[in-house]
Amino acid sequence: MSTSQPLVDQFQRRITYLRLSVTDRCDLRCAYCMPERMTFLPKKDVLTLDEMHDLALGFIARGITKLRLTGGEPLVRRDMIDLVRALGRRIGAADGQGGLEELTLTTNGTRLAEFADDLRAAGVRRINVSLDTLDREAFARLTRRDSLPQVLEGLAAAKASGLKVKLNTVALKGINEHEIADIVAWAHGQGFEATLIEVMPLGEVEEDRFDHYLPLVAVQEDLARRWTLAPSGHRTGGPARYWDVAETGGRLGLITPLTNNFCEGCNRIRVTATGQLYACLGGNEQVDLRAALRSDDPQGALSAALDTAMRIKPERHHFAIDGRGEAPALARHMSMTGG
């Protein structure tokens, strides 16, 4: 297959969206995401920023038009902003090597105050910020870090810099379900979008996810009793389905990997910080891109590896949280795969 031929999987889905993890490390320890004493990868196993840049260019040449940098927490990686600047130069490129339509970032917000202006200057226009509570004590319990003031400062900096912000909130029974409406209203009041996400069964954690699994159909029903929700045709290329909230004037997204499978239109692939391509967040199908990059023929080996990824990408994931004490759907943590 030509190195410039678009990426199309066996189900004839055009793959245009890459989520690239730059690190598995994070400065928070969210209880539903990882254990308190998380073991992170040795730095020698992680791709260099130059390798990540080369990898991204290979994807762009094959038709990737949207690139989201993730982690762990991407902004904890030293000199990561240099990668953002280099990739930002591919936005709108018309040099025959392919160009990006959008470069985005998912962050926990703890370092946004430092980097918001740099991200905007590098070409990032929109970011996702993970925030599950506006209560400082609840935040400290959930993330095991007292960092809510830094996150709020970072959000203010992002807003001031002109970045569009979408808050991502994992709905958690018994933890934040009582304040979900308040979080959405606050986000809309700040001019931010808000997206709610069902907890995903990835990796072993200290608590049982069944105890905190909150189906978004129940959340949506509760919000519909408070507000007028109208279906929105807005799409970002991700899995969220959107609603316009008349009373707040804002937009609400719902990501439902457990109660409403959204895989039929999947256009995404994920690459870990070690260069492992996962064709599906909910599967173990993977291709080693690090080996391709470090081979004698990086360009040819990378193109062949991407062809393999298209052949093994499954039709859908099979996430489920059906009972207490069940093992997670996959052993790897979300911080390993990239959000």
**98 labelled binding-site residue:** no
With b meaning 16 or more CB within 10 Å and e meaning fewer, what string describes 150-181?
Answer: bbbbbbebbbebebebbbbbbbbeebbeebbb
**77 labelled binding-site residue:** no
**120 labelled binding-site residue:** no
**280 labelled binding-site residue:** yes
**269 labelled binding-site residue:** yes
Under DSSP, the state recorded for 148 is H
Q: Classify the C-alpha dihedral 30-32-38-43 as positive or negative.
A: negative
C-alpha–C-alpha distance, residues 75 and 97, integer Å: 28
Q: How many residues does the chain have?
A: 339
**183 labelled binding-site residue:** no
Locate 158 and state its tokens: 């992002």
C-alpha–C-alpha distance, residues 122 and 85, integer Å: 5
Q: Give, to the nearest 10 degrees, the angle between helix 148-161 and helix 136-143.
A: 100
C-alpha–C-alpha distance, residues 300 and 289, integer Å: 11
User: Is the distance from CB of 289 to CB of 176 less than 8 angstroms?
Assistant: no
Q: How many CB atoms lie within 10 A of CB 256?
A: 20
Amino acid 267 reads N
**13 labelled binding-site residue:** no
- Mention every residue, 6+ apart, whose C-beta is less than 8 A from residue 155: 109, 112, 129, 131, 165, 190, 192
Helix %, strand %, coil % for the chain, to 5? 35, 20, 45
C-alpha–C-alpha distance, residues 172 and 183, integer Å: 13
**23 labelled binding-site residue:** no
**228 labelled binding-site residue:** no
| CA distances for 117 relative to 131, 155, 162, 213, angstroms | 20, 12, 9, 36
Under DSSP, the state recorded for 14 is B
**270 labelled binding-site residue:** yes
**109 labelled binding-site residue:** no
**272 labelled binding-site residue:** no
**106 labelled binding-site residue:** yes
Residue stretches of the annotated binding site for [4Fe-4S] cluster: 26, 30, 33, 263, 266, 280
Residue stretches of the annotated binding site for GTP: 19, 68, 106, 166, 268-270
Residue stretches of the annotated binding site for S-adenosyl-L-methionine: 32, 72, 130, 200
Residue stretches of the annotated binding site: 19, 26, 30, 32-33, 68, 72, 106, 130, 166, 200, 263, 266, 268-270, 280
